[in-house]
Amino acid sequence: MLQASADIDTSETLTERQKAVLDAALRLLVEEGDHLTMTAVARRASCSKETLYKWFGDRDGLLTATVQWQASKVRVAPVDRKGLDLASLTASLERFASDWLKVISSDTSIALNRVAVGHAGPVKRKDGKDDLGAIVLENGRFALARRLKPVLEAGRQAGLLQFSDAEAAFRTFFGLVARDVQIRLLLGDRLELTDAAIGGDAARATQQFLALHGAKTGPQGL
């Protein structure tokens, strides 16, 4: 159990073949959940189990590599910070909301979050082994915060937003956008999220956020 963990710098030390294998694992994860077996991955990827072990160390290593691989594919472009007015700020927020809803309702995200949650239990983490929960959190909720906060700050600088704590403001936005969607999906609730519904939710969440933290007409939340 060694080489595959470039730990901090996520990926790109991966062969094309290795990426293909991880894609196979990812597909299998979506189809079968944590039920995923080494033999199944090997068969699906048309590689030998020995190779899997040589590349990823053990089952956990494969899972970790898979999650990181998917994470590395998600990197979205940062928002352009041009002339900021209410319209563009609103558009940006709606964009974030809509993107986030699409992510958390995707099969892949659901599958990944499921395994990560399953592995986050009070199990004895061997050494300081990077656990899946932390990775998912880092590339999900925290990555979103890192990308959104600058926008919020810019909005405040431009006198469009009002808040004392960017983190708190972000969490409010997060709550308004996600609401009960993620937990319901993770618990297996069928929840049809059409593009139209997502667009509507994004707009609603954005309006609510502006109502709470907008500079004009704003009642001071918190």
Partner DNA sequence: ACAGAACCGTAACGTACGGTACGCTTTGGC
Partner DNA sequence: GCCAAAGCGTACCGTACGTTACGGTTCTGT
Q: Closest CB to DNA among 68 and 182?
A: 68
Query: Alpha-carbon distance 102 to 100, whole Å?
Result: 5
- In 3D space, the residue among 103, 115, 105, 102 whose CA is nearest the CA of residue 29 turns out to be 115
Binding of its own copies by 31 (CB under 8 A): yes
Span from 40-48, 104-112, 136-144, 200-208 in contact with DNA (CB under 7 A): 40-48
C-alpha distances out from residue 211 to 39, 81, 217, 220, Å: 53, 22, 8, 9
Q: How far is the CB of 7 from its own copies (least distance, A)?
A: 18
Site for its own copies in 192-211 (CB under 8 A): 204, 207-208, 211
Span from 38-46, 154-162, 172-180, 186-194 in contact with DNA (CB under 7 A): 38-46
Cβ-proximal residues to 156 (8 Å cutoff; 6+ apart), any chain? 162, 163
Please report which residue ranges of the chain form alpha helices under DSSP H. Answer: 16-32, 38-45, 49-56, 59-74, 86-104, 107-119, 132-139, 141-157, 166-178, 181-186, 195-213
Binding of its own copies by 75 (CB under 8 A): no
Residue 120: name its binding partner from its own copies, DNA, none (Cβ under 5 to 8 Å by kind).
its own copies
Binding of DNA by 15 (CB under 7 A): yes
Binding of its own copies by 158 (CB under 8 A): no
Written as six digits, the tokens of 49 are 């189990």
Q: Which of residues 19, 23, 30, 58 is near DNA by CB under 7 A?
A: 58
Residue 47: name its binding partner from DNA, its own copies, none (Cβ under 5 to 8 Å by kind).
DNA
Report CA 51 to chain centroid distance, whole Å. Answer: 29
Site for DNA in 161-220 (CB under 7 A): none
**Contacts with DNA, residue ranges (CB under 7 A):** 15, 17, 35-39, 42, 46-51, 53-55, 58-60
